[in-house]
Amino acid sequence: MELILRALIQMQPAGPEDYATIAGTMAFLEAIIKVAPRVGQYLMVKLYAIADSLFMQDVCDAIELWLTEQGSSELAAIIRSLGDKEQDELLKRRMLEWVDGMTRTTGTLWTSASRKCYGPI
């Protein structure tokens, strides 16, 4: 599935055209979720990681808002699986915060200044 996502956004250095591509991919994934929820949710979380690595703060915020609305035990399981494999410790911690928020109160997430989208602390 990661190959699908990489093909959709064609990983390149960040630039204005990359922002449009990633934002368009996010909208496309929202449509996929209606047809294949788990596939779309998985890819949306992977897209967050890509946007985070490119310091696209508003895309990260939009995906987090989407996660808040979509919060479910199934999505929490997807995020936990991805978080357990994540090499970036800040992103891994962020993913586990999402899971914790979803398991405590489905649909309720909080923000944290620990993610890379906001740059160094």
pLDDT of 107 reads 44
pLDDT tens per residue across span 71-112: 788 888 889 999 999 999 999 999 998 888 887 754 444 444
Alpha carbon distance 104, 68 (integer Å) = 13
Domain that holds residue 84: 2-7+16-118
pLDDT of 35 reads 92
Q: Is the pLDDT of residue 115 over 60?
A: no
Alpha carbon distance 38, 17 (integer Å) = 28
Among residues 85, 78, 86, 82, the alpha carbon closest in space to that of 36 is found at 78
Structural domains in the chain (count) = 1
